Amino acid sequence: MDKDTWCPNHQNVVGVIGGMGPGATVKLFQYVVELQKAPSDVDHVPLLIYNNPQIPNNNKAVLQTGPSSVPAMGYTARALERAGATHLAIPCNTAHCFLSELAEWTNLPILDMIDLTIRSVFDMQVSRIGLLATDGTVKIGLYQKVIKKISKEFNTRPIGMIVPNAKGQCEVDDCILRIKSGDVGADVQRRLLIEAQSLTSRGADIIITGCTELPLVLSDELLSFRVKFVDPMRILALEIIRITGKMCEMNQR
C-alpha cells in the first residue's frame, strides 16, 4: 500500500484548539489516553492537537480589556480543518463564550464542553452547583445561560449556581494565573480548596472546575467534605472518545 492509497480506518478525528494554556491541553490529551483501556497503540483515539499559545487571553477578551481571541482561534481551527479534523474541541472554558463567533470561521462542528458538562450535571440530580472559574466566565454567566437553556429543554427547574464572593473570585483568578505560570504547588492548591469549601458551606452539592487550569492541582482525593469536583475537561475527553467510534472499554472511574 503506497502513500496515495493508504487511509486511516476511522471516520472522525477531533482537532484540538490548544494552548489556552498548554498545561490544560496536555491534561486533555492525558484524559483521552487514560480513559480508554486500549489494548494496543492502534486502538487509541486519533487526535490532532494544535498547541497555539499565541491566542490572546480569552478572559481579557471577554472583559474587553484585551484583543479578541476569535481571529487566532479561527486561524487555528482552519489549520486543523486542513489537516483533516472532522470536529473541533477547545480545552478552555472561557473560550466557549465565543463559540458562535468561532463557528463563522470553520465548517466543522465544535464540541461544546459547557453544554456537555451541564447535561451531565442534570443527570446527577443536584440542586446547587458551585463554580470555580475565571472572572470572565462568571461575569458573562456562561454556565448560567447553558443551565437556563437545558432547563427549558428538559422542562424542569434550573439548577442553582453559587459563585465565590468578590474576594474569593480574586483568589481564584490569582491562583489560575499562578498555575498558568507553572506554579502547581501546595499554596495554590490550599487556596483553591478554601474557596471550594466556602462554596459547599453555602450549599453547593458539587463543584465545577470551570477553568481548565484547575484540574492541574485539584482532584476529588483532596476533598475532605461531602461534595465532589466535576471536571468539564474530563467530560470533553469522554465525548472525544465517543465520537471517534472507538469501542475500547473506557475507564470511567
Active-site residue list: 92, 211
- At 114 the three-state DSSP class reads helix
> What is the C-alpha to C-alpha distance for residues 202 and 225, in angstroms, rounded to an integer?
13
Q: Are 77 and 105 in contact (CB under 8 A)?
A: yes
Starting at the edge strand found earlier in the chain, the sheet holding 87-89 runs 47-51, 14-18, 87-89
d(CA 58, CA 62): 6
Distance CA 226, CA 232 (A): 20
Of residues 102, 167, 170, 159, the one with CA closest to residue 135: 170
Q: Residue 124: name the closest of 208, 195, 34, 192 by CA.
A: 208
CA angle (23, 25, 27) in 5-degree steps: 70
